[in-house]
Amino acid sequence: MDDKTFQDKFTELMNLIRELPGDQRIHLEKLAEETRHRRDRIQQSVSELQESLDYLRLSVKYLVFDLEATRRENAYLRRLIEQSNRDDSSKGNNDNRGNNDNFLEGEDFT
C-alpha cells in the first residue's frame, strides 16, 4: 500500500472512530495512532535497509573489481619474473629460445 492510500484510509478510519461514543472512541483512537506510528517506523526501517543493501552491493562490486585487478597484476608480475629468470638463464648459455615478447598472450586470468 502506498503512502497516499494509507493516509486516505487512515483519515477515513479516524473519521469513523470520531463518530463512536466517547469510551470506545478514546481506546480506538489510541490504537489507530499506535498503528500509524508503527507503520512509520517500519517504513523508515525498510528505507534504511534498502540504503544499506545498495551500499553493500556497491561495496561488493568494488571488492570484486579490486580482486580481479589484483589477480591480473599478480599474473603479470609472475610472467615478468619468469621472463626475467629465462633471460638470466639464457645469458649464461647464450640461448634466447625462452624469450617471449608478448608474455600475456594466451594467459588465463581467472
Q: SS3 for 91-106, per residue? A: HHHCCCCCCCCCCCCC
pTM of the model: 0.56
Does residue 80 form part of some domain?
A: yes
Does residue 108 form part of some domain?
A: no
- The whole-number pLDDT of residue 49 equals 97
Range of the domain at 34: 3-92
Does residue 42 form part of some domain?
A: yes
Sign of the Cα pseudo-torsion (24, 26, 29, 30, in order): negative
Does residue 98 form part of some domain?
A: no
Q: How many domains does the chain have?
A: 1
Does residue 48 form part of some domain?
A: yes
Q: State which residues of the chain have pLDDT below 50.
A: 95-98
Side chain identity, residue 72:
R
Does residue 110 form part of some domain?
A: no
Does residue 85 form part of some domain?
A: yes
- The whole-number pLDDT of residue 107 equals 59
What does the buried/exposed string (b/e) look like for 62-75 if buried means 16 or more CB atoms within 10 Å of the residue's CB? eeeeeeeeeeeeeb
